[in-house]
């Protein structure tokens, strides 16, 4: 049985850098919080293998910490030491064995870490950011009093952070990843350098738009020096950065569109400017070899239609990928996405043993298929 007509465009192969993925379905990065003291586990390998078996063309990992940081997610995985690299190698081997491809999303939190978090204390360095300006909000549930974000330390020389990204890319390559995606959205370090509200530096890393885009571009260049044209970036709106990034041999851009669920509210007002990000920023991607994935609330039929119209190259699916291990197959054969989300345990495992944290993680069922659909 062939793909249903409404989603057929999703099932054409797509060349991304040096690889050709079998379809245009991307598993977007979402925090799962299932590592064992920052080391990827066999449970995580099975999680990604399930999604590969289920027909997703390209998997992007949850955010992978490039250095030890005091994140709100204590069980977020890292990629700065040999043990972590070995753990990720099990993940990439499992994905490749099931016929798919996988990128590591490289992640630095910047100012939204906490100096009292155990991992930050082990790091032995301050919480660094472009400027000493605190983010609003935050909730470190594992710390006494559940504090929020605090004022970070302005990094004296940002090139030291660029080197951390470069080393993370080297480690990702050793771990067998097909490429890396730079996390440039959601208010983390890359966004902090781009935003004039969080970056008030007066040196070459701040001030003008050109200066504020310097750090992200230098990070991308460092990643390209390791992975060549197998480097991507995930962005919330950033037109000026896209203009310059298009001069680099990036494999794709994952563009986030507005989502009311991700829009922070302060003093009774939403922070974001609501607009059509695809319409506003598609034209900034001028390199024909750099593909565009659209992320945030995208539906399969919608993605297929946009592909047919030449507006995007693929759909990036976050929550559906968590809830539905066979997402690609369900799209292909018109099966409903009817798994019930286990929100309380989606990002926090059960009990103290991470190896048993499969509830709300790996226990979502696949659909039933006829013999000619398998």
Catalytic residues: 188
Pairing state between β 265-266 and 314-317: unpaired
Beta-carbon-side half-sphere exposure of residue 235 (alpha carbons within 13 Å): 27
The position carrying tokens 């069922």 is 365
Distance of alpha carbon 129 from alpha carbon 108, whole angstroms: 10
Alpha carbon distance 152, 126 (integer Å): 7
Contact predicate 123/81, CB 8 Å: no
Question: Which uninterrupted H or E stretch holds 64?
Answer: strand 58-65
Backbone φ and ψ for 197, nearest 5 degrees, come out as: -75, -30
Q: Are 263 and 222 in contact (CB under 8 A)?
A: no
CB proximity list for 196: less than 8 A, separation 6 or greater:
212
- Per-residue exposure over 287-312, b if at least 16 CB sit within 10 Å of its own CB, e if not: eeebbbbbbbbbebbebbebbeeeeb
Q: In degrees rounded to 5, what are phi and psi of residue 221?
A: -65, -40
């Amino acid at each position: 049985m062939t793909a249903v007509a409404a989603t057929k465009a999703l099932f054409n192969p797509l060349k991304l850098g040096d690889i050709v993925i079998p379809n245009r379905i991307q598993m977007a990065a979402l925090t799962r919080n299932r590592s064992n003291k920052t080391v990827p586990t066999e449970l995580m390998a099975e999680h990604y293998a399930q999604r590969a078996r289920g027909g997703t063309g390209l998997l992007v990992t949850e955010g992978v910490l490039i250095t030890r940081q005091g994140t709100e997610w204590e069980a977020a995985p890292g990629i700065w030491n040999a043990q972590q690299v070995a753990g990720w190698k099990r993940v990439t081997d499992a994905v490749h064995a099931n016929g798919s491809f996988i990128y590591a999303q490289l992640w630095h939190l910047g100012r939204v870490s906490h100096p009292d978090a155990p991992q930050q204390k082990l790091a032995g360095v301050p919480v660094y950011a472009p400027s000493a300006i605190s983010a609003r909000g935050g909730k470190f549930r594992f710390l006494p009093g559940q504090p929020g974000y605090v004022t970070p330390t302005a990094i004296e020389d940002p090139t030291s952070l660029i080197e951390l990204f470069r080393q993370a890319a080297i480690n990702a390559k050793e771990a067998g990843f097909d490429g890396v995606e730079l996390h440039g959205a959601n208010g983390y370090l890359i966004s902090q350098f781009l935003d004039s509200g969080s970056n008030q530096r007066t040196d070459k890393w701040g001030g003008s738009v050109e200066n504020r885009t310097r750090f992200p571009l230098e990070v991308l260049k460092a990643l390209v020096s390791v992975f060549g044209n197998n480097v991507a970036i995930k962005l919330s709106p950033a037109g000026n950065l896209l203009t310059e990034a298009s001069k680099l041999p990036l494999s794709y851009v994952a563009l986030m569109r507005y989502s009311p669920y991700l829009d922070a509210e302060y003093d009774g007002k939403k922070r974001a400017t609501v607009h059509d990000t695809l319409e506003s920023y598609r034209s900034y991607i001028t390199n024909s070899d750099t593909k565009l994935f659209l992320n945030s609330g995208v539906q399969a039929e919608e993605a297929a239609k946009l592909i047919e119209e030449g507006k995007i190259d693929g759909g990036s699916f976050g929550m559906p990928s968590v809830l539905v291990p066979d997402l690609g197959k369900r799209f292909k054969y018109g099966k409903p996405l009817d798994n019930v989300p286990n929100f309380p345990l989606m990002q926090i495992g059960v009990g103290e043993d991470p190896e048993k944290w499969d509830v709300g993680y790996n226990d979502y069922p696949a659909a039933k298929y006829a013999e000619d659909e398998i």
